[in-house]
Structure 1
């Protein structure tokens, strides 16, 4: 059984349907990327999974339990969420920002410090430990925030199954740090974490994901291996633009080129 099971989920707000009968699953160690145009329902899907929005139909289960029924502190030990916008105006140091993640745990100060240092090293932000958060660039803040959510679910022994939800994690990052971040996510998933993220860059999604899910108008149009899902005809239809797809010269993964 997959760690995350989303079955027939529908979400409506103010009489407008945002998700309609969406189903997907993510296994331990698997990276699943959700793509789709603006307004397709990608963020709504993550919010429904995180229990920030209540579906009017369907079910979200984590490790065999309905997410809404899991006690909040325990859920925070199992599930970490990185949203698109993470406003923080307090003059916390980088290390203090990452340390916020350890609140749901009772692992002790020494262990928490070690976990935070390891998560910061994984995201190449250890050098920002003493820097004040508001003085950092948008990209540096984004990488610190990812280190924070990694630290929240860093150890397998702290939870019965771990899920990482990421909403556009490469926003504000240069190309080098985009790939560094995606490699870090892939490495983290290999420790047994299920990862579900929204991604605008389809070439990045194809390179680092085991499965790609396509949403449009709140519906799931396709799901499967990147090579099978990311076709010229599907992308042309969903995004209303002409593209060509060529295989990457080293990996063979799809590279999407605008025409």
Structure 2
């Protein structure tokens, strides 16, 4: 893993956005995997600012979001699709037909996962995926378990994960759906390039397990140790548990 530690979250976000701009400029039809949550917000703000300065053209880029809450329609303000519309999609010149998203309200969740997996395969997989890490080490919505699933699937969310997503539901974890649809570990590990962001002391132990611990389904993010090209973008707080040797 290529670790990059910054003095602040904002410094990391600016540098990460610049790297994404370079990737899209070099490969205008790049297939991007995109996360939601609090962690990538500043990166999206910086990418929007770059677009407003005409420093990047998104018109040919293809996007696949990593996950969506089950039973929540795209029109629901708490959906991940609504989050992406607010913070990114509607603020840059992405082509609507090139935006791919899981339908949390699909009547057949398993069929929806198969559809999404097939759409991603037809695009050749993820060229660049942005990732966050859960405090419990989850990656996308691949939660810690005895074994992990390679393909897009329906998953039950942990209490910690539901609490982390409560901001989309009036800060009330009880309103967060119990289940979600998510890309599996296969799509993430087989991406040609991965960039993981982690900020704050609350992520420090998960970062340590991801970087220094064994590769184990109990910490899904640890499988990034097997990735061929991964960058980890940290602030001082999220890097605080790492050994001096690693840093």
Instruction: Sort the TM-score into its range (normalised by shorter chain).
Output: 0.3 to 0.5
**So what's the TM-score if we normalise by structure 2?**
0.38
**So what's the TM-score if we normalise by structure 1?**
0.37
Max Rg structure: 1
Larger strand fraction of residues: 1
